Structure 1
Amino acid sequence: MNRRVVHTRGGSPAEVLTVVEEPEPTAPEPGQVLIRTTAFPVHPGDLQAVEAYPGKAAQPVPAGVEATGVVEAIGPGTPVAPGVEAGGRVTVFPHPGAWSQWIVADAEAVVAVPDELPDEIAAQLLANPLTTVMLRRAAQEHPAFGYDGVLVQTAAGSSVGRLVTGVSQFHHFGLVNVVRSDRGAAELRRRFPDVPVVSTERPGWTDEVREAAGGRPVSVALDPIGGKLAESLLDLLTPGGKLISYGLIAEEPIPLHASTLLNKSLTLQGKNIGRWLSEASAERRASDVATAQQIALGLKDQFVVAAEYGLGELTNAVEHAVRPGKVGTVLVRP
């Protein structure tokens, strides 16, 4: 039997996600790859999609978009990425319904896993590193980025935040990290002692950011939170600066008066991995996937696993994934 995670309506993931049993999939057709899953990550975006699902579905909706596993079979005449072969380890992304013991995936979504990477990293190989690549590209569109301008990022202790920090260090970009607690700041300083960290738990934290920037202009800000925090980032930005929003952790909207944009000539830009998938050319996607693999190889220590659960412990895994103060990604072993 094949066990997979589904839901039929939106709501709290811990309440609406269920595990169902189905027959194992048959042999893959041309253009498909059959994968036996060994691990999948519980990304915040996966859970947000479940919460936001409108209405009630006529048929169960499969959950998850990323997983790692072993190739069991390749459809006849199917072209595959380099290194993808029967018996080989792969990661699949994006694949709606990746939270399953067996996956029949489109071949173009299947990527070989380098031998040096264990399953714990392979399960996180694409979504977060590709997000990092996407954010770096968007930031580099600002003429001051990488020169005199400083990059500020919130949620810097998150999985994506740590990768952005590692990439920024490698390329010698000016960076100030922002987290929500003194405890989180201490943890991030331990990981990246040369990168300044500011906690929003402290009154006047924006002044600390300006001090950490050392007089250099804050040209770009990366933010997955929104709300009042994003408003503070707009205040921090230098004239001509750019706020890149890539998440909606905060429930409230960003309070913004048009004069803020007009007087400082600011740019607001939204980015998400779904848009990257639909807009990037095949050549761009292939190049970005190769870069994501290099990020994983070069920053292996930053792919932290918060905990591992079995498929029968799905509710615990989902609750852990949204736990305040969690460091790392929650994995499920089917």
Structure 2
Amino acid sequence: MSRRVVYTRGGPPADVLTVIEEPEPAAPQTGQVLVRTTAFPVHPGDLQAVEAYPRNSGQPAPAGIEATGVVEAIGPDTPVAPGVEPGARVTVFPHPGAWSQWIMAAARVVVAVPAKVPDEVAAQMLVNPITAVMLRREAEAHASIGYDGVLLQTAAGSSVGRLLTAVCLAHSISIVDVVRSERGAAELRKRFPDVPVVATEHAGWADDVRSAADGRPVSVALDPIGGKLAESLLDLLTPGGKLICYGQMAAEPISLPASTLLHKSLTLRGRSIGRWMSDASAERQASDVAAAKLIAMAFKDQFDVAATYGLGDLAEAVEHAVRPGKVGTVLIRPW
């Protein structure tokens, strides 16, 4: 038998996610690759999808979209990416239902793991790096980024935030990181001593951001939180600036006076890995996957693992994944 994580209604993930048993998969057909999963990450976006599922659907939905594992078999006459062969380590993304001991994946979403990338990094090799690549591209669409403009990001201590900081440093993009606590700020300063870090627990944190910008325009802000924090970012942006929201961690909406848009000519954009999956062309997706692999090799030390759990500890893993102050990604080993 094989075990898989599913949910039949929306709600708190720790309450609605369940592990079921089902027969082991048959041999793959043409266009398919059978992967034995060795680890998968618990991304905040995965849990938001569970929360947003219809309350009384009754139809089981498979959980997760990313996992790493080993190729067990390839369907006949199936074209695969270089390095994908029986026995090879691979990452699968995007694949709805990746939180499973076995994955019968479409060959196009199976990516070979470079030899120098350990399993802990391979398990989170695509979603977070692709998000960082997507956000950098969106930020650089503003003419001042890469020149005199400053990029501001909140939740900078998150897995995506750390990767984005590393990428910005590598490409000489000026960035100011924002975190909630001074404790988190101190940890981030150790990682990136050349990057200004501001903690919002201080009443004057917005002035600290302006000081860190040192007279340069704060042109783009990246924010996965929303709510009151996003409103503060709008005040910090220079006229013509852009706020890019890529998450919805705050429960309250963003309140935006029309005068702010009128007098500052701001742009608001929403980006998500879900939109990337549906909107990006095949060529763009292939390019971003290649960039993600390069990030995984170049910045392995930024792929922290907060903890590793077994499938029997699913509720504990889910709780840990949203714990305040968590550093790194929570992984689950399904065997």
TM-superposed deviation, 1:9:
0.4
TM-superposed deviation, 1:277:
1.4
Confirm or deny: 8 A CA contact 2:231 2:254 kept in the other structure. Answer: yes
Residue in 2 aligned with 1:279?
A: 279
Residue in 1 aligned with 2:193?
A: 193
Q: TM-score if structure 1 supplies the norm length? A: 0.99
CA distance in 2: counterparts of 1:274 and 1:101, whole angstroms: 23
Q: Does residue 252 in structure 1 map to residue 249 in structure 2?
A: no
Confirm or deny: 8 A CA contact 2:34 2:73 kept in the other structure. Answer: yes
Alignment of 1:49-88 (within 5 A): 49-88=49-88
Helix, strand or coil at the partner of 1:59: coil
Alignment of 1:101-250 (within 5 A): 101-250=101-250
Q: Does residue 269 in structure 1 map to residue 269 in structure 2?
A: yes
Residue in 1 aligned with 2:32?
A: 32
What percentage of residue pairs aligned between the two structures are identical?
Answer: 76
Residue in 1 aligned with 2:331?
A: 331
2:24 is aligned with what amino acid? E
Q: C-alpha deviations, 1:281-313, integer Å up to 9, x for none?
A: 111111110000001111100000000001111
Residue in 2 aligned with 1:98?
A: 98
CA distance in 2: counterparts of 1:237 and 1:65, whole angstroms: 34
CA distance in 2: counterparts of 1:97 and 1:204, whole angstroms: 44
2:106 is aligned with what amino acid? D
Helix, strand or coil at the partner of 1:73: strand
CA distance in 1: counterparts of 2:97 and 2:225, whole angstroms: 26
Q: TM-score if structure 2 supplies the norm length? A: 0.99
Residue in 2 aligned with 1:313?
A: 313
1:78 is aligned with what amino acid? T
The aligned length equals 334
CA distance in 1: counterparts of 2:305 and 2:58, whole angstroms: 35
TM-superposed deviation, 1:254:
0.4
Confirm or deny: 8 A CA contact 2:32 2:106 kept in the other structure. Answer: yes
Helix, strand or coil at the partner of 1:139: helix
Q: C-alpha deviations, 1:33-87, integer Å up to 9, x for none?
A: 1000000000000011111111323332110110000000111111111111111
1:46 is aligned with what amino acid? D
Q: C-alpha deviations, 1:113-143, integer Å up to 9, x for none?
A: 0010111000000000000010011001000
Q: C-alpha deviations, 1:85-123, integer Å up to 9, x for none?
A: 111000001111000000001111110000101110000
Confirm or deny: 8 A CA contact 2:32 2:105 kept in the other structure. Answer: yes
Residue in 2 aligned with 1:289?
A: 289
The 4+ residue runs of structure 1 with deviation greater than 3 A are: none
CA distance in 2: counterparts of 1:259 and 1:275, whole angstroms: 29
CA distance in 2: counterparts of 1:65 and 1:277, whole angstroms: 11
CA distance in 1: counterparts of 2:182 and 2:90, whole angstroms: 38
